[in-house]
Amino acid sequence: MNPSANGWIDKFGSLIKKHENTYVSFGELYDALKKIGFVYGISTGFPPFIIPEHTPSEDEMAKINLLTALYFTFKIETSHSDFDLYLKTMFEFYEALEVNQVSFLGKLFSGNKTSSKLEKILESRVYIEDNIISKTFNGLITNSLLFIDVLLFRKYLTDSKDILRQAQKLEYLALNISYNALRSKKRSKTDKKLAQLLDSSLTYINSDGQKYDDSYRMQLISNKDIWENRYLLDFACLTVWEDHSLEYTESEFIYGLGKDLHFDDNIIDNSLTDVTKFINSHKETIPFLQEHNMAFQFYDNMSKLVNRLILRNSKRLQKELSESAELVALLSKSTVRDLSKEEKKKVQSQLLDIFKSIPSLAIFLLPGGAILLPIFIKLIPKLLPSSFDENRVEKEK
- pLDDT tens, residue by residue, 264-273: 999 999 998 8
pLDDT in tens, 112-134: 688 988 998 998 888 765 444 34
Domain boundaries, the chain: 8-156, 163-289, 294-383
pLDDT in tens, 219-277: 889 999 999 999 999 998 888 775 555 555 567 888 999 999 999 999 999 998 898 88
**Residue (of 44, 21, 22) closest to 34 by Cα position:** 44
CB-based contact 166:155 (threshold 8 Å): yes
Q: What percent of the chain has pLDDT over 70?
A: 71
Q: How confident is the model at residue 161 (pLDDT cuts 50, 70, 90)?
A: confident
What is the pLDDT averaged over residues 292-315? Answer: 61
**Residue (of 309, 303, 295, 296) closest to 362 by Cα position:** 309
What is the pLDDT averaged over residues 83-105? Answer: 81
pTM over the 0.85 mark: no
Give dist(CA 1, CA 14) in Å, integer.
10
CB-based contact 244:188 (threshold 8 Å): no
- Most confident among 76-90, 248-262, 336-350 (mean pLDDT): 76-90
Q: How confident is the model at residue 334 (pLDDT cuts 50, 70, 90)?
A: confident
Higher pLDDT, 370 or 324: 324
| pLDDT at position 310 | 75
Neighbours of 221 (CB within 10 A): 12
Give dist(CA 216, CA 181) in Å, integer.
13
